[in-house]
């Protein structure tokens, strides 16, 4: 059986979270290339912040992310980084398209999010 816990500096853990981010006003924008761009950007950000993306899938107006994180990380901080950076990069690349939908501010994601901790079945005995 593989070791299912990480060990670092007097701590032992296995933290996973299911996160759902929704586009602002539930606009159907996660399609026609934006979805692919976001699904490449988030693993890049995860790697930069010592997170591990286990699974990720988009629908037209939201994305599901299953990630693994360290005890020193805070879910709200992780989400803030993901939303802030992806919004910035999306506006750099898709400004013409996004400005048709969001004309006041450079936004992409709704203010809220869904997050819950997860226990994967393969770890149950």
Contacts for 54 with CB less than 8 Å, ≥ 6 apart: 16, 66, 67, 68
Contacts for 70 with CB less than 8 Å, ≥ 6 apart: 6, 8, 13, 15, 50, 51
On the CB side of 97, CA atoms within 13 Å amount to: 14
Q: Token pair for residue 83? A: 């939303």
Q: Per residue of the chain (125 residues), what is the pLDDT tens digit?
A: 356 787 888 888 899 999 999 999 999 999 999 999 999 999 999 999 999 999 999 999 999 999 999 999 999 999 999 999 999 999 999 999 999 999 989 999 999 999 999 887 665 44
Asked if residues 83 and 62 have their Cβ atoms less than 8 Å apart, the reply is: no
Taking the model in full, what pTM does it have? 0.89
The per-residue pLDDT for range 40-67, each reduced to its tens digit, is 999 999 999 999 999 999 999 999 999 9
Which domains can be identified in the chain, with CATH numbers? 12-120 (3.30.70.1290)
Mean pLDDT over the full length of the chain: 92
Q: Token pair for residue 30? A: 């996660």
């Amino acid at each position: 059986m593989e070791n299912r816990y990480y060990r670092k500096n007097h701590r032992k853990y296995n933290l996973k979270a299911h996160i759902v981010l929704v586009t602002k006003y539930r606009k159907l924008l996660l399609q026609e290339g934006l979805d692919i761009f976001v699904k490449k950007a988030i693993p890049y950000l995860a790697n930069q912040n010592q997170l591990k993306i286990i699974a990720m899938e988009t629908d037209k107006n939201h994305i599901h992310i299953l990630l693994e994180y360290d005890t020193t990380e805070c879910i709200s901080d992780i989400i803030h980084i993901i939303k802030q950076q992806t919004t910035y990069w999306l506006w750099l690349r898709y400004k013409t398209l996004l400005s048709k939908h969001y004309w006041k501010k450079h936004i992409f994601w709704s203010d809220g999010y869904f997050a819950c901790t997860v226990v994967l079945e393969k770890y149950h005995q």
